[in-house]
């Protein structure tokens, strides 16, 4: 029996717990918001302090990268934390992430770090407009971002950015050149302590209002798959990474640029629960517990649809063939990630047909990315 403590008690910790059970891996979670050790499925408080949970754990890992530094340091000091804290820091600070990508020699959007109004002027001269501005710390799901399109927006955007910089210690803004991408794709992979790497099939990701909506596995593009794998290996190697790592890319004229990395299991890898030999959650646990990695082969065409702000779907969805609903046990809240639907088929064409059937069962206003 392995005891794994996960920092963060959301759906990713929950799905790790579900995937770990068959391997006798017991997952408990630390809710960083309320400072409580909880059961990742029931959210029930465990009568354990964080210090006791750290002592009881064989391995400590994380479901998100915005971990308060004092908590991360405590966990690292125990010698049980995986991946290395450098990876968490790179995922949580866009300045560190950019340096990492440059060092790993992988293509990414040109950027400039902004601390002052004068820096913003230099960024505009260097990168041109339009540009994307992202807070260095704390951004997720498109939050903490601005789009600067024309010169007359500079004043109002700077006012907001200055407030953001002043609001927290060590905050800055990373300006990025606007990338006119053809599509967004991501690669999920896993690396173990002895440097073995396995990657899943690429998926194409469609966002609505900055939040992932639909991920569809890409089949039949071995050149792009290979390109993504090489970039993945370079980044994972640079970090001496242990566990599941996600790379988000922009595709421009068939070439990939890394947008960002996530040092953890990732929303665009949820399809692996039904579409891959071993799901990302199990493989993360295998890697951090020093067990052999599981196969990452695609077993059928698959897609994942996020359920945002809804706590039910018609039973006809459950009745669809090769369709699986995963709820997160959360209280309903507008826009909140409440669950996801994995849907599979024997071929990509049949998968598109399945997605169209799903589109007939789910309202367009809540699921705008389904084909109809
Ligand atoms: P996540 O939920 O993936 O953590 P995030 O808030 O960390 O998101 P990004 O992935 O950096 O932020 O950006 C969110 C979205 O904004 C991207 O998926 C992409 O659609 C768009 N975007 C980001 N950077 C650029 C860019 N340089 N050029 C054009 N569009 C961009
Ligand atoms: Mg992103």
**What would the pLDDT profile of 73-99 be if each residue is shown by its tens digit?**
999 999 999 999 999 999 999 999 999
Give yes or no for residue 140 having a pLDDT over 90: no
Atom of ligand 1 minimally distant from the CA of 180: 29
pLDDT of residue 146: 97
Q: What is the mean pLDDT of the chain?
A: 97
pLDDT of residue 329: 97
pLDDT of residue 217: 98
Average pLDDT over residues 308-328: 98
282 lines ligand 1 (CB under 6 A): no
Atom of ligand 1 minimally distant from the CA of 143: 6
Specify binding-site residues: 94, 134, 139-145, 176-179, 184, 207, 259-260
Average pLDDT over residues 324-348: 98
Average pLDDT over residues 240-248: 98
Specify binding-site residues for ATP: 94, 134, 139-145, 176-179, 184, 207, 259-260
Average pLDDT over residues 206-213: 95
248 lines ligand 1 (CB under 6 A): yes
257 lines ligand 1 (CB under 6 A): no
* Structure confidence at residue 139 as a pLDDT band (50, 70, 90): confident
178 lines ligand 1 (CB under 6 A): yes
Atom of ligand 1 minimally distant from the CA of 178: 28
CA distance 104 to 211: 27
140 lines ligand 1 (CB under 6 A): yes
Average pLDDT over residues 170-195: 98
Distance linking the first and last C-alpha atoms of the chain: 47
Give yes or no for residue 303 having a pLDDT over 90: yes
* Structure confidence at residue 316 as a pLDDT band (50, 70, 90): very high
Give yes or no for residue 142 having a pLDDT over 90: no
In angstroms, what is the span from residue 260 Cα to ligand 2's centroid? 6
Over pLDDT 90: what percentage of the chain?
Answer: 98
Atom of ligand 1 minimally distant from the CA of 177: 27
* Structure confidence at residue 141 as a pLDDT band (50, 70, 90): confident
In angstroms, what is the span from residue 255 Cα to ligand 1's centroid? 17
Average pLDDT over residues 242-246: 98
* Structure confidence at residue 227 as a pLDDT band (50, 70, 90): very high
pLDDT of residue 1: 84
210 lines ligand 1 (CB under 6 A): yes
**Protein residue with least CA distance to atom 2, ligand 1:** 141
- Residue 265: name the closest of 276, 256, 251 by CA: 276
């Amino acid at each position: 029996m392995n005891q794994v403590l996960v920092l963060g008690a959301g759906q990713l910790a929950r799905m790790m717990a579900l995937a770990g059970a068959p391997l006798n891996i017991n997952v408990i979670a630390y809710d960083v918001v309320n400072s409580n050790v909880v059961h990742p499925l029931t959210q029930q408080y465990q009568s354990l302090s964080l210090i006791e949970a750290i002592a009881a754990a064989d391995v400590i890992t994380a479901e998100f990268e915005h971990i308060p530094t004092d908590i991360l340091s405590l966990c690292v000091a125990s010698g049980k934390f995986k991946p290395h804290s450098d990876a968490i820091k790179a995922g949580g600070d866009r300045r560190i992430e950019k340096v990492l990508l440059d060092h790993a020699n992988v293509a990414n959007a040109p950027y400039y770090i902004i601390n002052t109004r004068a820096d913003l002027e230099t960024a505009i001269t260097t990168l041109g407009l339009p540009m994307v501005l992202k807070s260095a710390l704390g951004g997720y799901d498109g939050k903490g971002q601005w789009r600067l399109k024309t010169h007359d927006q500079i004043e109002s955007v700077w006012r907001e950015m200055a407030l953001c910089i002043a609001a927290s210690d060590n905050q800055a803004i990373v300006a990025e050149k606007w990338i006119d991408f053809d599509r967004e794709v991501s690669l999920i992979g896993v690396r173990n302590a002895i440097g073995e790497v396995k990657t899943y099939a690429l998926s194409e990701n469609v966002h609505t209002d900055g939040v992932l909506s639909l991920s569809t596995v890409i089949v039949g593009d071995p050149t792009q798959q290979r390109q993504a794998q090489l970039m993945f290996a370079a980044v994972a190697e640079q970090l001496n990474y242990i566990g599941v790592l996600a790379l988000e890319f922009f595709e421009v004229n068939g070439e990939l640029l890394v947008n960002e990395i996530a040092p953890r299991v990732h929303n665009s890898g949820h399809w692996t629960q039904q579409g891959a030999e071993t799901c990302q959650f199990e493989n993360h646990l295998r890697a951090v517990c020093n067990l052999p990695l599981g196969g990452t082969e695609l077993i059928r065409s698959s897609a994942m649809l996020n359920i945002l702000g809804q706590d039910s779907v018609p039973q006809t969805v459950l009745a669809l063939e090769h369709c699986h609903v995963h709820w997160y046990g959360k209280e309903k809240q507008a826009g909140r990630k409440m669950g996801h639907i994995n849907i599979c088929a024997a071929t990509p064409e049949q998968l598109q047909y399945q997605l169209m059937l799903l589109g007939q069962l789910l309202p367009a206003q809540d699921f705008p990315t389904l084909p109809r």
